[in-house]
Structure 1
Amino acid sequence: MLSRRHFIEGSAALGLVAAFAPAALAQRRTQTETVDVAQLMQPGPLGDVWLGKADAPVTIVEYASLTCGHCASFHTGTLPELKKKYIETGKVRLVFREFALNQLDAAVYMLTRCALNADGKAGEGVDQARYFALIDVFFQQQRTWAFGGNPLEAVTAITRQAGMTQAQFEACLNNQAILDALNATRERAASAFGVESTPTFFVNGKRVLGAQPAAEFEKIIDPLLPA
């Protein structure tokens, strides 16, 4: 269960997270490593959310933090290019997985999950468009809510614009099952796949570290596409 206090505490911890996570931890892994694809593609307890066709020949699994500046750079800068060239043309599917780095991160991820439904679970028949629309807004406005003076007020305003009532907001933050599932997703990513920093990507199982430009992703994706 998360409370209003966690918004304040989580925001206060962001300076340390931003300074530490992307560079120091990433040095422990290399771009040449691969993981077992069958294991990687097993969804977590809340189910996977994705963009693109389910049968695309290339699948990118992204582990990201909503309070991570590098993740925001990828989503606002690189991803639109990849969408146009690969995702919208049926060549690539992007599976997005939450990797909360702090309490504020966890709280906001809980709210994005509740945009799907009350239990936060994805699955057949669930409209994922609302989830990704909210993710996009949080990345675009990251400086305002994650690093501003009043994260609770800023996050509340964003969720209200998305149609979430105050009662739904409070109920979501009190949903221990969603919080436990998000923690399980992060722990499995770290223990099973060695995710140590955000963003971390796996392109058909091959690890790609950091918010690489579109050209770097093209070098990895293109050889994997059918001739």
Structure 2
Amino acid sequence: MPKNNNKKKNIAIGAGVALAALLLGAASYSATKPDEPSSVTAKEESPADVSADPQAGVYPELAKLARRDAKDPLAQGRADAPVVLIEYADFKCGYCGKFARDTEPDLVKKYVEDGTLRIEWRNFPIFGADSESAARGAWAAGQQGRFWQFHAAAYADGSKEKGFGGDRLKELAKEAGVKDVGRFSDDAGSAEAKAAVKKDQEEAYGLGATSTPSFLVNGRPISGAQPDEVFDQAIEQAAKAAKPSGAGDK
């Protein structure tokens, strides 16, 4: 009997997540579709085409997706930080690169370093075999504590145009300071890497995400490489909401 109750509870939670995530799916950012240079070029001029109102709803079901694993090599920031930003991204995605280069470093300086924010990465390869290879390579770099260095190398200007084949992944691993490149290659081709990437990918699809980058800030969906102020406002509002009742400002 308890098993049936648990099953019903899980189904209810899953349905709640799916319904809440309609906002994320509806606001899905589609300017990064591959092999369409004309449409991508046109939208490059306005990377915030999709509105991501920081006043939009916050969904408790989505907030529960934060893993808060202190040993997670694909995360940075305190495991008990009041705000968790989950990023679903693809290394072949131009706007993911824009976020990584232009916005994320400032978020780290302003919020991660003072303990307010934790950033959790989710591999969400949607642009084919190269995307999948890069995702597994990133995971493999993480096994040697060099995920964020690999992330920076893979998102450097002009990097994605070189592809993410086996030799290129080794180059990125060396650039990222991965000590054992042989182990890196083995890890990237392992069943564990495939399973880890699939887990992240299925989580994103389960949310209704169809493009990258997509984010959750304490359960608040944000789609696309939005302006810095969108993230600042969402993070600051989430931090304020997370304060214990009656707590004063810093």
Aligned to 1:181: 196
Aligned to 1:155: 169
CA shift for structure 1 position 149 = 7.2
Alignment of 1:168-207 (within 5 A): 168-191=183-206, 193-207=207-221
Cα distance change on mapping 1:138 and 1:18 into 2, 3 Å: farther
Instruction: Pick one of 130, 138, 141 that aligns with 1:104.
Output: 130
* Bigger relative contact order (CA 8 A; separation at least 6): 1
Aligned to 2:147: 131
Equivalent residue letter for 2:200: T
SS at match of 2:87: strand
Alignment of 1:63-82 (within 5 A): 63-82=88-107
CA shift for structure 1 position 188 = 2.3
Alignment of 1:50-69 (within 5 A): 50-69=75-94
Aligned to 1:7: none
Gap regions ≥5 residues in structure 2 = 1-32, 244-248
SS at match of 1:60: strand
Equivalent residue letter for 1:131: F
Cα distance change on mapping 1:107 and 1:18 into 2, 3 Å: farther
> Residue by residue, what CA displacement relative to the aligned partner does 1:161-180 show, whole Å, maximum 9, x if unpaired?
33355633542343133113
Equivalent residue letter for 1:68: C
Aligned to 1:219: 233
Counterparts of 2:90 and 2:124 in 1: how far apart (Å)?
5
Instruction: Pick one of 120, 140, 145 that aligns with 1:95.
Output: 120
Cα distance change on mapping 1:208 and 1:152 into 2, 3 Å: same
Structure 1 residue 115 corresponds to structure 2 residue 141: yes
Counterparts of 1:94 and 1:136 in 2: how far apart (Å)?
15
Would you say the 8 A contact 1:18–1:69 is kept in 2? no
Cα distance change on mapping 1:43 and 1:107 into 2, 3 Å: farther
SS at match of 1:62: strand
Cα distance change on mapping 1:48 and 1:61 into 2, 3 Å: farther
CA RMSD across the alignment: 3.3
Would you say the 8 A contact 2:79–2:118 is kept in 1? yes
CA shift for structure 1 position 106 = 1.3
Equivalent pairs counted in the alignment come to 197
Equivalent residue letter for 1:138: A
> Residue by residue, what CA displacement relative to the aligned partner does 1:76-110 show, whole Å, maximum 9, x if unpaired?
00011111111111111111111011211111221
Q: Which moved more, 1:149-158 or 1:90-99?
A: 149-158
SS at match of 1:182: helix
Q: Which moved more, 1:176-185 or 1:46-55?
A: 46-55
SS at match of 1:135: helix
Q: Which moved more, 1:198-207 or 1:215-224?
A: 215-224
The structure with the largest alpha-carbon Rg is: 2
Cα distance change on mapping 1:157 and 1:88 into 2, 3 Å: same
